[in-house]
Structure 1
Amino acid sequence: MPTYYVASDIGGTFTDTVVIDAGGRVGRYKSSTVPDDPARGVLDTLELAAEERGVPLDRLLADVEVFAHGTTVATNAMLEGRHSTVGLIQTRGFGDTLGVMRGFKSTGLGEDEVKRFRTLVKQPPAVPRRLVAEVTERIDYAGRVVCPLDEADVRRAVAELRAAGAEVFAVSLLWSFANDAHERRIAEIVEEEVPGATVTLSSEFLPRIGEYERTLTTAVNASLRPMLKTSLDSFDRALTEAGLRSGPLLMQSGGGLATFAEVERRAAATVMSGPVGGVVASRFLGARGGYRNVVTTDMGGTSFDVGLVLDGRPVMSNTTLIGRDELALPSVAVRAIGAGAGSIASVRGGVLQVGPRSAGARPGPACYGRGGTLPTVADADLVLGYLNPQNFLGGRLVLDVEKARAAIDEHVARPTGLTVEQAAEGIKTIVDARMADLVRQVTVEQGYDPGDFALFAYGGAGPLHAFSYGAELGCPEIVVPITASVHSAFGIGCSDLTMVEELSKPMQTPPGTTDHAAALPPDELNATFDALADRARAHLVAAGAAADGIRVARSVEIRFRAQIHVLTVPFETDRITAADVDGMVERFVEIYEGRFGKGAAFLEGGVEITTFRVVVTSPVPKADVDTGALGSGGGEPGVRRVFCGGGWRDATVYRPEQLHDGMRIEGLAIVELRDTTVVIGPEQDAEVDGSGDIVIRNR
């Protein structure tokens, strides 16, 4: 009986799936996303996989050993305001925490919105003040009870919140991470007053310092839990009814998989579920190709996402930005803008703009022939000749060139006085420039030189546009992996079962300290890490992981005393010694000066550990991946006219069966893969490696 490893990623426009068989061979499948029934899009891709293998869908699913999934449910719920109403309980005197907030008026806004100074205001609080109740209690920074919990006050608060419309409850008390007794008792009282109510405790979900961030993240998590559970239950039920026997796993923002039950408890940890997969895949394939530093660029139908792999590791962020809220959850650092193949072009005040609005999956770009009438990037690519109208989605969707030309003519060409081709090239130029700018923000503005990175281009549209924005950035190599069109799904399939546990436990060194281990005792550090690791291991074992295969990674969040810039420093050893503590401080200074400039560190002022974190992983069974899918190299390439650089030019066109290991391609050229299109620019050459990846270099 064959065994399959399956991973899917539901995007705003397309749903991607990879099916890896026991021999490691990777099958790639795409279908249109069905917004009202996301599981339908996944089943459509699985039916393609079953058809290719000549078996019924239920037979294919019965042979699936691992099914991993990336979802945008939590992300969309936050951005669209479709989540449960939260009743928030806080310490008396601190009910305005979310209203005061911490941040800037520009947080989470696009360039155009930031420039509108007259209307620039902070976002509304995540929980309206009428849904925030204060209760009498107080615990100090050391975890000592200063004022006992008034249980009658709690019952009054719960009744008031229910009357105000609260559907779920969040509890975030002052210093609860130092002593969680009051929060746990409040949860018991809520259950007594509202049996079966969903309650999220900050001391359980996010026991870390930072009152505003902890409260915000706890409230957001509470609001997302019911919708995520409903969606995951529906998804699980649809797959089970279709024949799946193994319980699906879900990708988390931090880069690992978790069971549906665990993810429902930590719903806010899934808001970057899909984009993170592409970074994980790039790290995996980058290691195979010898690329230690990679800038990842994912251009799909709706957005353009950028991340970094530095020295073989995905760059992590201590926070997750979603919409205008910054959640205190670690995640693989991914920045995004509304620049995808479905981004709509418009003329405002005589100026051509592209995005952030997207045509989405329905109706989609005009060329899809599904009722869309507004011009998009995909329409421009088709008019310019880069896209073959007969080769979209493997030929399952024939693109309509005339509808694309008509949309561009009406909405862009005539308002600007340009020809249709000039307008189309203008659309492409603008979106490429916007994408290059985002890559600069992630690299140059963080102190990195793009010339030190290989650029991985993926997503349905990334391989077509990377020749342009990659060349502008000066990256020495642009790598289009063979998995490009389903790269995020492939990364999800390469991930392991993961659990993160953290705890804020501030520890400081006095000013002028040279013996750091005296102020930060190794035994105390080890004991804190051990307690967190034991709790995380228990969660993984409960999820079915083998105890002897679990790996533990330890790190701390550390800053200079009296400063706000917190950086993450890992410990590379299982048992921490005095020498390891000194090495941690040295590494912190190195990272700090790399970020803020040589000489910026002030070690004489002392350092402070704020938070301890452990990441435990258990390898998910998977085959040795073989992404290679090269042809025999026979046959003559074709030629197609492409509008490039202001005029029509001949481009050499290659089909997948003509590619072979070591093959060199001189630009201007187009490679039409079954599921994506790769363009090599006129001043570039490319080489095909043994895995089928195409590496583009400037001449």
Structure 2
Amino acid sequence: MERLINIDNGGTLTDIVVGSGTDFTFTKTLTTPADLSQCLFDGLAKASTTIYGQEDLPSLLHSTRHIRYSSTQGTNALVQGKGPGIGLITDDPNLVAELRKDPEASRLFDDLIGERVSLLPVDGDEDSRARLLVTEINRLTTAGAERLVVAAVDLDREKLYKRAMLKNFPRHLLGSVPVLFSWDFTSDTLRSRRIWSGIINSFLHPTVERFLYSAEHRLRSYKVKNPLLIYRNDGASSRVAKSVALKTYSSGPRGGLEGTRALADAYGLKHVLMIDVGGTTTDVGSVLNSEISTDRRGSVKGVPISYEMSNVHSKGIGGSSVIAVQNGEITVGPDSVGAAPGPACFGFGGRQATITDVNLLLGVLDPATYLNGELKLDAERARAVITSTVAEPLGISLDEALILMERTYAEQMASAFSGTIQDADTTTLAAFGGGGPMSACLAARIAGVRHVLIPRLAAVFSAFGISFSDISQTYEIDITGASAAQIDEARVEMEGRAARDMFQEGHTINECDLDWTLVIENADGSLARESLFDETTTPQITDGQLALLSLKCTYALPHPTLPGNHEQSKSKAVAAGTRSVRSSADLVDQIPVYQLEEQAPGATAAGPAIVEGPFFTTRVPAGWVLDISAAGDLLLSDSQ
């Protein structure tokens, strides 16, 4: 069986999972912000060494069917407000108020657009409007607009503006500015949702475009024929040239959710809350009765968009989030030190404190085994930074600062998911990512959750979850009031588009599954109902509703299976040693350290303890019990 490679690029670390059937090899590497394609190839080279016993990247690449790539760069860019200035051009004087209809939308509008708005007149001949358009483009770009979104009241006017732009700012000139036309971007009929989708996409586009095409170029240098696939936030994958930037937003968490659903099925769990803790964010999602919580029309930072998204929310708290003192209080995030310079203990020049520095000084992390011993941590640098930025400003000792920082961090993590708990007794917290296992039990106890599951692949679990994706494209057409003949024409047109797109993906439409759906939307854009569609279906709608025909075209890829758990005879977990871990400002405990990979299924122990897995460390507080499942996963229960 050919290999499938999954890559999840985070703000601090990049995860690589190489799978073939039930055999998985995985590794992590530091993200390289200056050239994100570099960490991709660094990680692949490391994986090839594990597989072949020596570095052999060409052999790995040529034995691989597809590389699927996910990135948190877009999510991180919006969380931290780092991206291009967007200019908005419209001829509707009411549009800005419509886009700023609530506090969340107003904040996002101010962050992305601000005062860079141009209002064009609706009167005048075509030449005069074109001249004014050129003047306004120059004004907006001078004001800092690096990309433009055009949102006219109707399609004909947008076509007029498009002609004028191409004539006066041809794309081959250095002075051209990327422009997105709202009517071209999506078929969504709800105006505010369609325009917001264009604005956010324009903000995200340059964040992901450069390194994706750089990665494709480097793959071609190895004569790799299969294209790089982008993993999307709807759970499917497509090649770079057939993807839009907006669908990469929160795509990594969708991979985690797909893996979480597989865990829920394997262990027979009713409700599983996912917390994926990366370097910059904690992403939270839900799987209830084996169903991923998904919105047909998703939202970004509380603003509705035109595309489907898993219902994941992100909070700016991660392993590299800055812990600081503001107005006499400890704060966590949303700023992150990322991979460069990284936490102070990385030794790359970081001058701000993070939870990684805290856990090193508490004794939770072993400076010699972090990242499987590939990165030696510097306790002295961490001590100096925490002393100067937290302990001294608060007038407390270093040890007091460490306990207070850990507690604040756990409270912030708990606040990220506590609002999504339906029944604490039937909820399991699935914690993964590089930072999830370290603080999961502390946060769960604060939130009242008594069960935590740490998968054996926790450090790369979102990358592993990408294994459940297929190559897919989705299309939608408004058929409100259409006759049977017109609906047939729409079906032929959509199937033709699907055939062309899947041919560009390298597959014929005869190899794909076609799923037709009738979607009824209310006048406000909300979903009324949806059902399967065939030739005999007649749309039934009331006044103000819209009937939409949707087609999902899918080429299936192989998926893994999880072994789950079954009854195991209990045995005492075998400790590899002990470690000094600070449990309060004036108390240091000697607690056992267990190597997850060395424990037999059914092994059990009581906290306090440390469990070290591949590329992750779990802190098991007093009152918690740990059990090793048949699959080698870590099951934790709060006995207090």
Both proteins in one fold, TM over 0.5: yes
Match in the other structure for 1:279: 257
Instruction: Please tell me whether the aligned partners of residues 13 and 361 of structure 1 are also in contact (alpha carbons under 8 angstroms).
Output: yes
Match in the other structure for 1:61: 61
Distance 1:565 1:551, change over 3 A: closer
Match in the other structure for 1:233: 213
Following the alignment from structure 1 to structure 2, what is the Cα–Cα distance between the partners of residues 173 and 284?
Answer: 45
Instruction: Please report the TM-score for the alignment, with normalisation by the length of structure 1.
Output: 0.79
Opposite residue 83 of structure 1, the aligned amino acid is P
Following the alignment from structure 2 to structure 1, what is the Cα–Cα distance between the partners of residues 547 and 146?
Answer: 32
Instruction: Please tell me whether the aligned partners of residues 37 and 212 of structure 2 are also in contact (alpha carbons under 8 angstroms).
Output: no
Distance 1:74 1:338, change over 3 A: closer
1:122-133 correspondence runs (5 A): 123=110, 126=113, 128=115, 131-133=118-120
1:214-233 correspondence runs (5 A): 214-222=194-202, 224-225=204-205, 228-233=208-213
Instruction: Please tell me whether the aligned partners of residues 136 and 153 of structure 1 are also in contact (alpha carbons under 8 angstroms).
Output: no
Question: What SS does the aligned partner of 1:275 have?
Answer: helix
Match in the other structure for 1:144: none
Alpha-carbon offset, residue 130 of structure 1: 5.1
Following the alignment from structure 2 to structure 1, what is the Cα–Cα distance between the partners of residues 620 and 514?
Answer: 42
- Is residue 2:579 matched to residue 1:640? yes
Q: Deviations over 1:354-403 (max 9, x none)?
A: 22222221121121111123221111111222111111111011112232
- Give unmatched runs, 5+ long, in structure 2: 565-570
- Is residue 2:33 matched to residue 1:46? no
Following the alignment from structure 1 to structure 2, what is the Cα–Cα distance between the partners of residues 468 and 566?
Answer: 38
Instruction: Please tell me whether the aligned partners of residues 319 and 327 of structure 1 are also in contact (alpha carbons under 8 angstroms).
Output: yes
Q: Deviations over 1:632-676 (max 9, x none)?
A: 999653222222256323322111342222222322222111210
Question: What SS does the aligned partner of 2:110 have?
Answer: coil
Alpha-carbon offset, residue 66 of structure 1: 0.6
Distance 1:374 1:687, change over 3 A: same
Question: What SS does the aligned partner of 2:412 have?
Answer: helix
Alpha-carbon offset, residue 199 of structure 1: 5.1
Instruction: Please tell me whether the aligned partners of residues 99 and 129 of structure 1 are also in contact (alpha carbons under 8 angstroms).
Output: no
Residue from 222, 232, 235 that aligns with 1:252: 232
- Is residue 2:164 matched to residue 1:202? no
Instruction: Please tell me whether the aligned partners of residues 84 and 224 of structure 1 are also in contact (alpha carbons under 8 angstroms).
Output: no
- Is residue 2:531 matched to residue 1:571? yes
Distance 1:521 1:255, change over 3 A: same
Alpha-carbon offset, residue 452 of structure 1: 3.2
Match in the other structure for 1:649: 589
Match in the other structure for 1:516: none
Match in the other structure for 1:341: 319
Question: What SS does the aligned partner of 1:298 have?
Answer: strand
Alpha-carbon offset, residue 462 of structure 1: 0.3
Residue from 513, 535, 539 that aligns with 1:550: 513
Instruction: Please tell me whether the aligned partners of residues 7 and 68 of structure 1 are also in contact (alpha carbons under 8 angstroms).
Output: yes
Alpha-carbon offset, residue 625 of structure 1: 5.0
Match in the other structure for 1:494: 468
Distance 1:168 1:153, change over 3 A: farther
Opposite residue 651 of structure 1, the aligned amino acid is I
Alpha-carbon offset, residue 75 of structure 1: 4.2
Alpha-carbon offset, residue 433 of structure 1: 1.0
Q: Deviations over 1:253-301 (max 9, x none)?
A: 22221211111xx222222233322122212332233234321101112
Instruction: Please tell me whether the aligned partners of residues 98 and 126 of structure 1 are also in contact (alpha carbons under 8 angstroms).
Output: no
Q: Deviations over 1:92-117 (max 9, x none)?
A: 4x1451355233335587xxxxxxxx
Following the alignment from structure 1 to structure 2, what is the Cα–Cα distance between the partners of residues 124 and 344?
Answer: 21
Following the alignment from structure 1 to structure 2, what is the Cα–Cα distance between the partners of residues 555 and 35?
Answer: 43
Match in the other structure for 2:417: 439
Q: Deviations over 1:521-557 (max 9, x none)?
A: 9999999788656644653344223424324263636
Residue from 554, 557, 562 that aligns with 1:618: 554
Opposite residue 689 of structure 1, the aligned amino acid is S
Q: Percent identity?
A: 25
- Is residue 2:623 matched to residue 1:683? yes
Instruction: Please report the TM-score for the alignment, with normalisation by the length of structure 2.
Output: 0.85
Match in the other structure for 1:659: 599
Distance 1:159 1:289, change over 3 A: same
Following the alignment from structure 2 to structure 1, what is the Cα–Cα distance between the partners of residues 625 and 470?
Answer: 36
Match in the other structure for 2:567: none
Following the alignment from structure 2 to structure 1, what is the Cα–Cα distance between the partners of residues 279 and 146?
Answer: 35
Following the alignment from structure 1 to structure 2, what is the Cα–Cα distance between the partners of residues 455 and 524?
Answer: 49
Following the alignment from structure 2 to structure 1, what is the Cα–Cα distance between the partners of residues 533 and 277?
Answer: 38
Opposite residue 502 of structure 2, the aligned amino acid is L
- Is residue 2:368 matched to residue 1:428? no
Match in the other structure for 1:172: 151
Following the alignment from structure 1 to structure 2, what is the Cα–Cα distance between the partners of residues 545 and 275?
Answer: 28
- The RMSD of aligned alpha carbons is 3.7
Instruction: Please tell me whether the aligned partners of residues 71 and 274 of structure 1 are also in contact (alpha carbons under 8 angstroms).
Output: yes
Question: What SS does the aligned partner of 1:236 have?
Answer: helix
Question: What SS does the aligned partner of 1:65 have?
Answer: strand
1:239-318 correspondence runs (5 A): 239-242=219-222, 244-263=224-243, 266-318=244-296
Match in the other structure for 1:477: 451
Opposite residue 554 of structure 1, the aligned amino acid is T
Following the alignment from structure 2 to structure 1, what is the Cα–Cα distance between the partners of residues 189 and 322?
Answer: 42
- Give unmatched runs, 5+ long, in structure 1: 110-120, 138-149, 508-519, 586-605
Distance 1:97 1:17, change over 3 A: same
Opposite residue 17 of structure 1, the aligned amino acid is I
Match in the other structure for 1:141: none
Alpha-carbon offset, residue 691 of structure 1: 2.0
Following the alignment from structure 2 to structure 1, what is the Cα–Cα distance between the partners of residues 162 and 446?
Answer: 55
